[in-house]
Amino acid sequence: MIRPDETDDPRRRLLIQALTAGLFAAALTGGGALAAEVSRGGSPKLPAGRSIYRMSGKVLVNENPATIDTRIAAGDTVETPKGGELVFVVGENAMVMRESSRLELQTEQVTSMLIKGFRMLTGGLLSVSRNRPMQVTTATATIGIRGTGFYLEADPQQTYFCTCYGVTDVEASDDKQSRDHVVSSHHDRALYILAGAKPGQSIRPAPFINHTDQELMLIETLVGRTPPFVFPGNSYNAPRRGY
């Protein structure tokens, strides 16, 4: 029996075409093996017991050097070096960590396997999840996630945040007058959240930068899903949107 989210889903057919054509290579290396698996009709989901799909550089998990077999769980702290990157899965959450990033995977209790939220003061993160509210904290923002895809870049003075799809509630950490409720279907409204701005002016419009739909498709695939958007024609590049 074929499930509705499998081969009769046009998004999955586009995903298979993109993987088979090697179009993920521009965003992430290592897509070839995944393409071969999908083209054979197998599940492209990351195997049970595996957390890391791909890594480069000296990645640390809880301050210990990681290998491809390292398990990552809620409650862990993950760091990537300059020039490094990490693509990994924790439960139903799949992520790409950019270089020079430090991410805390927060949990409600030590024994819980579920991620309650992310704390990221430096670096970049692309993440997808579904149907589970979480909170993202940076130096300048607190963001409520309602199960969505998002991309952020954080430093002590500014957070870049794109709701790739889904619903988020964005609030400046030091300016409670600056709040925004975002409903997005495809990178509809990216934002900068600034430190030290005048009251009510800490959240400002931002362009679409530094992440791609190919990456979103890849990490959704690693947890057995497809993104909730369909490309027209052969447009697999970053969205051409006006801001």
Going through 44-148 in order, the beta strands assigned E by DSSP cover 52-56, 60-61, 64-65, 77-79, 85-90, 93-97, 102-106, 117-128, 134-137, 141-145
Rounded Cα–Cα distance for residues 191 and 207 (Å): 8
pLDDT at 45: 85
pLDDT (tens place) for every residue of the chain, 243 residues total? 333 344 344 444 554 454 444 444 434 444 444 444 444 444 468 988 899 999 999 999 999 999 999 999 999 999 999 999 999 999 989 999 999 999 999 987 665 678 899 999 999 999 999 878 899 999 999 999 988 999 999 999 999 999 999 999 999 999 999 999 999 999 999 999 999 999 999 999 999 999 999 999 999 999 999 888 765 443 334 443 433
User: What distance lies between CA 45 and its chain's CA centroid?
Assistant: 16
pLDDT at 208: 97
Q: CB–CB of 144/157 below 8 Å?
A: no
pLDDT at 231: 52
Query: Residues 154, 160, 164, CA angle at the centre, nearest 5°?
Result: 120
pLDDT at 112: 64
Residue type, 29: T
* CA dist 207 → 139, 188, 192, 243 (Å): 20, 10, 9, 6
User: Which residue do the tokens 């993109």 mark?
Assistant: 18
Fold of the domain spanning 49-211: Jelly Rolls (2.60.120)
Phi, psi of 129 (to 5 degrees): -150, 170
pLDDT at 111: 56
Look at the pTM and tell me if it is higher than 0.85: no
pLDDT at 55: 96
Rounded Cα–Cα distance for residues 28 and 15 (Å): 15
For residue 4, the tally of other CB atoms under 10 A from its CB is 7
3-state secondary structure 3-35: CCCCCCCHHHHHHHHHHHCCHHHHCCCCHHHHH
